Chain A
Amino acid sequence: MISIPQIRASANKIIIVGEHPAILQSMLDFDYLSGKKEPGIIGIVTGRRGFAKYFFGRREILIPTYATTQSMQLQGEISANAISVHEVNFWFVNFLSGRRTLSSVLHDQALSSFVGGIIFAEGVPELHSLKIIEQNKKLIIGPSSVGLIIPGILKLGPIGGITPEQVEEGKLTELGNVAVVSGSGGMTNELINVAIQAGHRLSFALSYGGDRFPILSPRDAFLLAESDSSTKTVLYYGELGGEDEYELVRLKAEGRFSKQVIAHIAGTVAGLFPESPQFGHAKAKADKEKTTALAKRSALQSAGFSVSSSFSEFIELVNKLPLAR
């Protein structure tokens, strides 16, 4: 799997599968505000061959659209950009519906040369995610992910917002040392906001998604943070349901993760119900004691992570975090 430093060290080019104009434009705005000379998006698979109009800064640009990923001429796109193929990371951003995700990600040979991508759809069947997990070693984030952002380098998906004001206010073009890893799309943005308001800047942020089996697991995300020398602290948001947090505990116990973590696990409100209800995300249901928010908080705390007992406390802990010099 590609590392965050490797992503920073190369050019990154993006193919969009499906359509979501507002999100695409925000990715172009991010590139423009980051001072890039050319947009990262080099093609959109819409089912029709042609061009789509977007803006890069004030300049109107035409992005080629394709019938299928197979019909894209990646080599051609690259030589047009006069960059050596070896220095380019190819990414996909998949906006297709949940039931089309498996075939579009796994069975599409054209994507085999990609380093990874994000899956935006909710409602991907669990068994489809598991098939992708079994068969791939790429950096694939999702399903139900709002994406990945590396300040000044790469924005995949709506993460951090879709208006230029959001990109500017989130200081999303300035590299920092705080990583955000979150299971919820909205809370990813909320955590970014908490960090920025406390005066920090991001090293990277990603939403691994609210499904039971995220393709990039929280454990994988922590390993990305560990191997990234820019990252000093990880802000983590998780919820009741599932056992992914116990993998974080194991990682720490095995000595494979050394960075500071401030974690919040939501879902104590489930205690008001006779039986844990199903909350908004597919994974958010505690069917055994081990998967309740309280059990996971105490396990993470015992492992040596800072764990908040309320979200207000989480904000206080971030506010106390020393600023990078």
Chain B
Amino acid sequence: MARVKTYEFQAKSVLLPNYLGVSLTSSNYQSILKNLPKELTSTNLVLKVDQGIKKRGKQGLVKINLSPSDIPSIIEEWSSLGWTSFLLEPVIEHSAEAEHYLAIERARDGWHVSYSAKGGIDVESSWDSIKNAVLSPSGELPKGVSTFLKSPILQAFITNILPLMEQYHIVFLEMNPVLIRETHVVPLDMACEIDDTGSNLPSIPNKNISESETKIASLDASTPASLKFKLINPSGSIWVLLSGGGASLVLADEVADQGMGHELANYGEYSGAPTDEDVYSYTKIILEQMLASTHQQSSKLKALVIAAGIANFTDVAKTFKGIIRAMEEIKADLKVSHVKVFVRRGGPNEAKGLQMMSDFLTGADIPHIIHPHTIPLTQVINDVKEYLS
């Protein structure tokens, strides 16, 4: 439900007429190389990692002047480093001076276009050469302004590409380098962000994410509710089970603001009226991750923060039911692992939810502090600080 990166291959396929590139993965490249289109077998090739990463060239993840027989060993090497998606294209000969920079982003007032005649791998060293213009939402040029957009070739390219960006919900496009030829514009490298609420183009999964993050991402994809989880520091002392986009941010900020950022093990939030089953599964994955790292440092104190703002319509008792069910299954482990639980929540059915939580934690003999909505949101982080110091 936000802006995410999509593959260069996907972006070029929908935006550029007669695009010749081919997408390969670690697992399918052999069969694809056997059936390469004619245009790719008879020319120099460029191979790049296609996973939305910045400064690809500087990291050695772009190789040029290849023939098809060079490809397998490079893919093997990159695959051993964890890369999985690649893009194969014909090399387009050009001089370094011909490399321009062009970016288009959708903003509230229209399309923001940035351009520099000095593009290429070192564009950042000539950042001040970048010129900007704002086009109206329907793509009209600003009136009477003498800009880089005077170039009829560039203008035609932008006029043609904006409707396609709208159609595919592409909200950001960076082309660097891009060649501006006599009759047409040729983007060589392209970075692309889509709005995943509207676009059917695929998003790029993050590289090297933990097993627990993968599990929660698939859980998130299976429910209309929102379930987010990021592992920051598995050996940290502070584990959080937070609800709501805003309050989760405020609480995580408070951990960092109070000088405990290095102890923050994870960030995450559940929201959008999840079922108690959703909350149960979500909690279970996080608690398992917490215990896995706790086992490695059995003497270290752990704080589990179950907190959120004051719900407008989310039923506190219902969501707490799911959390308690997950904790119930591992209550013995929680007890021996020096976990103290810090709770703060408000909203519909608050009293019942907090009472259920208190009864459970008391019964399981797990130390805890429970705050209702009348205690300020961030007090719970002060309590954590006191506990850990």
Contact = CB atoms under 8 A, between A and B. Distances in A.
B145 interface: no
A161 B347 contact: yes
A200 B11 CA distance: 52
Contacts of B252: 269
Contacts of A264: 250
A213 B109 CA distance: 10
Contacts of B331: none
Contacts of A277: 230, 267
B380 to A, nearest CB: 11
Contacts of B296: none
Interface string B334-362: 00000000000011110000000000000
Contact of B244 (A99, A128, A158, A280): A280
B63 interface: no
A281 interface: yes
Contact of B256 (A159, A187, A272, A278): A272
A131 to B, nearest CB: 8
A239 B250 CA distance: 9
B313 A237 contact: no
Nearest to A267: B249
Interface string B264-300: 1001010110000000000000000000000000000
B2 interface: yes
B197 A124 contact: yes
A193 to B, nearest CB: 6
A187 B246 contact: yes
B248 A279 contact: yes
Contacts of A273: 230, 232
Given A123-B197, A158-B312, A280-B228, A184 B376 contact: no
Contacts of B12: none
Given A122-B272, A272-B261, A281-B246, A186 B309 contact: yes
A176 interface: no
A182 B246 contact: yes
Contact of A127 (B2, B106, B248, B258): B106
- Classify chain B's interface size: 35 or more
A193 B349 CA distance: 17
Given A22-B313, A125-B169, A126-B169, A282 B197 contact: yes
A10 interface: no
Interface in B199-251: 199, 226, 228, 230, 232, 243-250
B127 to A, nearest CB: 12
- Classify chain A's interface size: 35 or more
Interface string A170-203: 0000000000001111111110011001000000
A120 B382 CA distance: 34
Interface string A111-155: 000000000001111111010011000000000001000000000
A309 B264 CA distance: 19
Nearest to A160: B312
Interface string B84-114: 0000000000000000000000111000000
A277 B198 CA distance: 21
B171 interface: yes
Contact of B309 (A26, A187, A239): A187
A35 interface: no
A269 B240 CA distance: 13
B106 A188 contact: no
B346 A268 contact: no
Contacts of A239: 245-246, 249
A163 B310 CA distance: 12
Contacts of A98: 197
B106 to A, nearest CB: 7
B1 interface: yes
Contacts of B2: 212, 278, 282-283, 285
A310 interface: yes
B254 interface: yes
Interface of A: 20, 22-23, 26, 98-99, 122-128, 130, 133-134, 146, 157-163, 166, 182-190, 193-194, 197, 210, 212-213, 217, 237, 239-240, 243, 264, 266-269, 271-273, 277-285, 293, 309-312, 315
Given A161-B313, A190-B250, 14 more contacts: A125-B198, A126-B198, A127-B198, A157-B312, A162-B312, A182-B246, A183-B246, A184-B247, A197-B374, A212-B3, A269-B264, A279-B267, A279-B269, A280-B249
